[in-house]
Amino acid sequence: MGMAEMKILVTGADGFIGSHLTEELVKRGYQVKAFVYYNSFNNWGWLDTVPKEVMHNVEIFQGDIRDPNGVENAVKGVDAIFHLAALIAIPFSYHSPDTYVDTNIKGTLNILQAARKNNIGRVLITSTSEVYGTAQYVPIDEKHPFQGQSPYSATKIGADRLAESFYRSFELPVTIVRPFNTYGPRQSARAVIPTIITQLLAGNTTINLGILTTTRDFNYVLDTVNGFISIYESDKTIGEEINIATQKEISIGQLAEELIRQINPNARICCDKERLRPNKSEVNRLLGCNKKIMQLTDWRPQYSLEEGLKNTIDFFSKNMDKYKTDIYNL
At residue 321, the pLDDT reads 86
> What is the tens place of the pLDDT at every residue in 206-259?
998 988 999 999 999 999 999 999 999 999 999 999 999 999 999 999 999 999
> What is the tens place of the pLDDT at every residue in 154-178?
999 999 999 999 999 999 999 999 9
Q: Are 308 and 224 in contact (CB under 8 A)?
A: no
Domain extent listing, the chain: 3-183+219-244
* DSSP code per residue over 242-276: EEE--S--EEHHHHHHHHHHHH-TT-EEEE-GGGP
The enclosing H or E element of 32 equals: strand 31-37
CATH architecture classification, 3-183+219-244: 3-Layer(aba) Sandwich (3.40)
At residue 90, the pLDDT reads 82
Q: d(Cα 302, Cα 222) in Å, to the nearest integer?
A: 8
Which range of 38-42, 79-83, 273-277 scores highest in mean pLDDT? It is 79-83
152 belongs to the catalytic site = yes
At residue 34, the pLDDT reads 98
Q: d(Cα 23, Cα 32) in Å, to the nearest integer?
A: 9
CB within 8 Å of 226: residues ≥ 6 apart: 24, 299, 302
Helix residue ranges, H only, 7-150: 16-27, 52-55, 68-75, 90-95, 97-100, 107-117
Catalytic residue among 37, 100, 152, 303: 152
Q: d(Cα 262, Cα 320) in Å, to the nearest integer?
A: 17
Task: Calculate mean pLDDT across residues 35-60.
Answer: 95
> What is the tens place of the pLDDT at every residue in 177-204?
999 999 999 999 889 999 999 999 999 9
